[in-house]
Structure 1
């Protein structure tokens, strides 16, 4: 497929990797990209969609915005949508429903927590400061390397055979936070303490960092699910799409800023 693919969230963890893999076929879009796209400014949507036939959708916080965007994309000539969702999304998830009801080819990606959160996002600052405090107990979870998500997304965006599919994506190693931090320490030589905290205290700390209430509550709930042992299972979406095993935590560490 030689058509142009609009990549939303192009400066984010998955979006910039999808952009890199697509090369000249990508039209990266974000608030800071050459192609401007802002979920809160609908006037940026139509210009970004001009001439594209597929979209990698990193959704907004408000599902109503995606429900408004999808019909516009279809009217603009888009024939394929690949949505970044999340593990545990309900079957009636409004973000997924907007894509599934589009009338064009769609693929849903439901990944686990990202390995790159340890050096690029939510956990990066605490790890650098020497203590990570989250309400996950000793629960284990098969974190995924975002490079695997990007590769799956590009296949779904550019190849046939993935329409109507929902891919559950995970790494192959269910690890606890303590185990992952121990592996980081083994690479960096810098001690990092893992502390299990109460969910309410963690949610309050996120709000103190400026996270909206709904995001703070969602992140806390997902971590509590790990604590309860509800997120230990391994999924096979990477193997199904790419025909290989997912990258390991060691693979991630070797390519990260910890190396």
Structure 2
């Protein structure tokens, strides 16, 4: 990855969601240029408490945006950030976002330079998030059938984000990001089993059953329905295609699932 622009001041890039999967990696790559912010960081930022926004963004020139669940909050934050002197916004979106996506619209209409990242599902979901507990229990039950999907290593998303935040040439770009190979859940779990020696089986379940299980875990209805819909898109083959955003930005191939396993908690 290209070196960070040496003219950037310490703390000049506000990193939202700094304790999350992408945010903490973006923070690590930025080094002193980063101003990490979250509900538990030294720089406090809470989407549900607008009074925390202006102090967090003051003095920064760019923001890595991990959006809230409510797009109205992002639409309120973005103008505040621009008024505070922010000239660059990098938004973590998702593959399949509609053309009228309100999160993307908020940054694209901001008047600042913007970059949108649309990644596929994260490989790290298997050891850090949604699928981690099921993997530990030996069974992942989702409504993906035998569909395949090019999961992406979060480390690649972070490198692309940092390039967009710190180097010229990325303003006004939407980058579709994926891993280099489309795999089924059966294939991915077999590879995890080969590394850990602990069998993990895949069970295909119906969408309604899966959505109900998420609600039982405390997910709001809209999030349970969204996650279920995205998995059904894998099932129907709509998510099998590869994207070239990593190659375009970083000039190399994305990390493979084997690369991820070698650097994950499974290793």
SS, match of residue 171 in structure 2: coil
Aligned pairs for 1:1-259 within 5 A: 1=5, 2-3=8-9, 4-259=12-267
Structure 1 stretches (4+) deviating beyond 3 angstroms? none
Distance 1:50 1:69 in 2: 12
SS, match of residue 120 in structure 1: coil
TM-score (normalizing by structure 2): 0.97
TM-score (normalizing by structure 1): 1.00
Distance 2:169 2:51 in 1: 33
1:193: how far off? 1.1
Distance 2:108 2:139 in 1: 41
* CA offsets 1:212-249 (integer angstroms, 9 cap, x no match): 00000000000000000000000000000000000000
Distance 2:42 2:215 in 1: 32
* CA offsets 1:105-132 (integer angstroms, 9 cap, x no match): 0000000000000000000000000100
User: Gaps spanning 5+ residues in structure 2: where?
Assistant: none
Distance 2:198 2:112 in 1: 50
Distance 1:57 1:50 in 2: 15
Distance 1:134 1:122 in 2: 11
Distance 2:265 2:120 in 1: 21
User: Gaps spanning 5+ residues in structure 1: where?
Assistant: none
Distance 2:100 2:64 in 1: 21
* CA offsets 1:33-88 (integer angstroms, 9 cap, x no match): 00000000000000000100000000000000000000000000000000000000
1:145: how far off? 0.1
